């Protein structure tokens, strides 16, 4: 089966294959929209129909065509385009952070931290809370959170392997998806006079990559309705905590049950990790 046939079997309509980058295309169920996406390098590919698929599915060719001149040129061009966009996003993130003022923000108040101050960027569209994202010590982009809690990244920025870390001391290491969850973890650790390092990873898939790259630590998973959060936590091979309520992250749990009960839940996880198991 050719890649185009594989894509068609999943509802994507591809008239002319472009190589090396994600492309949006129509689908058989929505031919007037761009509700499908694919990436193909001449050897491996992936497709996703946003209406019918929760995640992409992959395809592997029996022959590697990446050395063909037209495919090689398009792949190289796509790589350079991604690098150029990533460089521009990193520069923009630095510019945005220079415009920020350290103060409170409606999102932080909504999440239970009315006195917490963060990087706030005032724009014509309202104030944005800015969370810098770094990889290997370098600023690569940022997450922008508006007053309603809507989140977005800068166009073209590098997100894989990027994190925001809150470090007191690397005694207890945590991995989580969201900034508000990190603040809840920090508040509880401070209340119990315990040291911590918290890595905000911004997505489940990125959390898996980062957690796998750092020894030890605990994953604080979101209880997603589709079970992605817990699945990723299990895939890391690390101990993890997850709320007993579907749809909650740790900040939601903290807000629902209060500081004492959330503190007891987190300490119970820490104790279980540090207590040797008797065979």
pLDDT at residue 190, as a whole number: 95
How far apart CA 67 and CA 55 sit, in angstroms, is 29
Other residues' Cβ atoms within 10 Å of the Cβ of residue 229: 24
Element (H or E) spanning 17, and its range? none
pLDDT at residue 140, as a whole number: 97
Read off the DSSP letter of residue 15: S
In this structure, the dihedral spanned by the alpha carbons of residues 150, 154, 156 and 160, taken in order and rounded to 10 degrees, is -70
Going from N- to C-terminal start, the domains of the chain cover 3-60, 102-274
Contact (Cβ atoms closer than 8 angstroms) between residue 128 and residue 144: yes
Q: The tokens of 156 are what?
A: 């073209």
pLDDT at residue 166, as a whole number: 96
Sheet holding 44-49, edge to edge: 23-25, 36-40, 44-49, 57-60
Identify the segments of the chain with pLDDT beneath 50.
Answer: 277-279
Residue written as token pair 């050395």: 67
pLDDT at residue 169, as a whole number: 81
CA 237 to chain centre: 18
Q: The tokens of 174 are what?
A: 């945590």
Positive or negative torsion for Cα 33, 39, 44, 46: negative
Contact (Cβ atoms closer than 8 angstroms) between residue 188 and residue 262: yes
Longest dimension (CA), the chain: 63
CA 228 to chain centre: 12
pTM score, whole prediction: 0.81
How far apart CA 3 and CA 17 sit, in angstroms, is 9
Give the residue among 59, 52, 43, 53 at the shortest CA–CA distance from 7: 59
How far apart CA 59 and CA 51 sit, in angstroms, is 20
């Amino acid at each position: 089966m050719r890649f185009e046939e594989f894509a068609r079997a999943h509802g994507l309509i591809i008239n002319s294959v472009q190589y090396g980058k994600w492309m949006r295309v129509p689908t058989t169920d929505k031919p007037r929209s761009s509700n499908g996406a694919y990436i193909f390098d001449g050897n491996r590919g992936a497709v996703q129909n946003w209406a019918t698929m929760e995640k992409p599915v992959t395809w592997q060719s029996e022959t590697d065509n990446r050395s063909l001149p037209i495919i090689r040129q398009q792949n190289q061009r796509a790589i350079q385009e991604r690098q150029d966009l990533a460089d521009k996003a990193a520069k923009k993130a630095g510019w945005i952070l220079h415009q920020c003022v350290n103060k409170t923000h409606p999102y932080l108040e909504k999440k239970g931290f009315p006195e917490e101050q963060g990087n706030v960027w005032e724009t014509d569209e309202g104030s944005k809370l800015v969370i810098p994202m770094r990889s290997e010590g370098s600023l690569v982009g940022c997450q922008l959170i508006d007053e309603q809690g809507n989140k977005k990244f800068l166009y073209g920025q590098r997100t894989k392997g990027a994190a925001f870390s809150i470090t007191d001391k690397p005694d207890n290491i945590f991995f989580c998806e969201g900034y508000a969850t990190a603040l809840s973890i920090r508040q509880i650790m401070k209340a119990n006079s315990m040291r911590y390092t918290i890595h905000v990873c911004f997505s489940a898939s990125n959390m898996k990559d980062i957690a796998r790259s750092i020894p030890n630590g605990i994953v604080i998973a979101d209880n997603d309705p589709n079970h992605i959060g817990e699945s990723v936590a299990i895939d890391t091979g690390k101990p993890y905590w997850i709320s007993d309520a579907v749809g909650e992250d740790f900040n939601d749990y903290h807000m629902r049950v209060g500081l004492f009960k959330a503190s007891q839940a987190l300490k119970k996880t820490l104790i279980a990790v540090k207590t040797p198991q008797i065979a």
